Amino acid sequence: MTHNNRSIAERMNTDFPWPVWLAGWMALLKGVIWLSTDPNLPASQLTVLGVKHVLFMAPFVACAFGAWKLRRWAGWALVVLCGLELIFFAVYPPALKALTFNDITAVTLLFSAAVFVVNGPVGAVLILALTPSLFRHSGTNGRS
């Protein structure tokens, strides 16, 4: 079995650390879920949010795959990215208006709640809370 196939098989193993698995999924979703949103904001605010999302998209996606491969660099990068994102929300409060709940139907309410959790400060805090597990497991099997 090649190294790449072995890594994929490890993630499917029931012994794979679930906090790392969840942190990876949260990072992946944080990187791409904004592509499916359509916030109703003034153009200047949409521009700021668009730039923020474009700058953070590739790093979050890369960190997701790095986390699943139990790479220590991914943990540090997630700490930095989530820290920067929390600072962004504190410095630019209009960003939170893009994460409003839509309660027209149960499905749209569920989707908007998921977007709020993933793309908002809650997602960043959740990833930060899960990252220590990545650091604990990144030293195993010679990974760094």
| Buried b or exposed e, range 111-130, using 16+ CB within 10 angstroms | bbeebbbbbbbebbebbbeb
On whether residue 10 sits in a domain, the answer given is no
User: Is 144 inside a domain boundary?
Assistant: no
Residues 33-49 have a mean pLDDT of: 83
With cut-offs at 50, 70 and 90, classify the pLDDT of residue 135.
Answer: very high
Give yes or no for a contact between 45 and 20, defined as CB atoms under 8 angstroms apart. Answer: no
pLDDT exceeds cutoff 60 at 124: yes
Domains: count for the chain: 1
The pLDDT score that the predictor gives to residue 140 is 55
From 19-23, 36-40, 96-100, 101-105, the region with the lowest mean pLDDT: 101-105
Pick the closest to residue 36 from 21, 51, 12, 53 (CA basis). Answer: 53
Mean pLDDT, residues 62-81: 97
Quote the CA–CA distance of 11 and 84 in Å, as a whole number.
28
- Structural domain of residue 86, as residue ranges? 16-139
Backbone angles phi, psi at 39, to 5 degrees: -65, 145
The predicted model gives 35-57 an average pLDDT of: 86
